[in-house]
């Protein structure tokens, strides 16, 4: 995932946690899908050159070929 611009294909999120590690930054962000389901927590590695603040609202752009999905109950990887 990368930080993108507001667009229908991108996800609006609110930053919950930031781990700046120098050469890379990891963040946890809550996606409110606006559907009648619980908000979803996403973890992403993003460009370390952009400062990110807790509580900040931003848009995440997905690189579909790099997504890894896990079953929330078992923790097992979901393989297509």
pTM of the entire structure? Answer: 0.73
Domain of 10, CATH number, reads: 2.40.50.140
Cα 20–chain centre separation: 15
Residue at token pair 């979803």 = 40
Residue 49 lies inside a defined structural domain of this protein: yes
At residue 74, the 3 state secondary structure works out as: coil
Residue 71 lies inside a defined structural domain of this protein: no
**Residue 1's pLDDT band (cuts 50, 70, 90):** confident
Residue 80 has a pLDDT of: 67
User: What's the domain range around 29?
Assistant: 2-66
d(CA 42, CA 33) in angstroms, rounded, equals 12
d(CA 36, CA 14) in angstroms, rounded, equals 18
Residue 79 lies inside a defined structural domain of this protein: no
What are the C-alpha distances in Å from 36 to residues 15, 41, 44? Answer: 21, 15, 24
Residue 72 lies inside a defined structural domain of this protein: no
pLDDT digits (tens, 9 = 90+) for 9-56: 899 999 999 999 989 999 999 987 676 677 788 898 998 998 999 999
Q: How many domains does the chain have?
A: 1
Residue 53 lies inside a defined structural domain of this protein: yes
Residue 76 lies inside a defined structural domain of this protein: no
């Amino acid at each position: 995932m990368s930080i993108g611009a507001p667009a229908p294909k991108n996800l609006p999120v609110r930053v919950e946690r930031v781990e700046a590690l120098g050469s890379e930054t990891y963040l946890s962000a809550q996606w409110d899908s606006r559907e009648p389901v619980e908000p979803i927590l996403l973890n992403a590695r993003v460009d370390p050159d952009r400062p990110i603040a807790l509580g900040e609202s931003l848009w995440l752009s997905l690189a579909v070929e790099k997504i890894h999905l896990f079953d929330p109950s078992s923790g097992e990887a979901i393989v297509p």
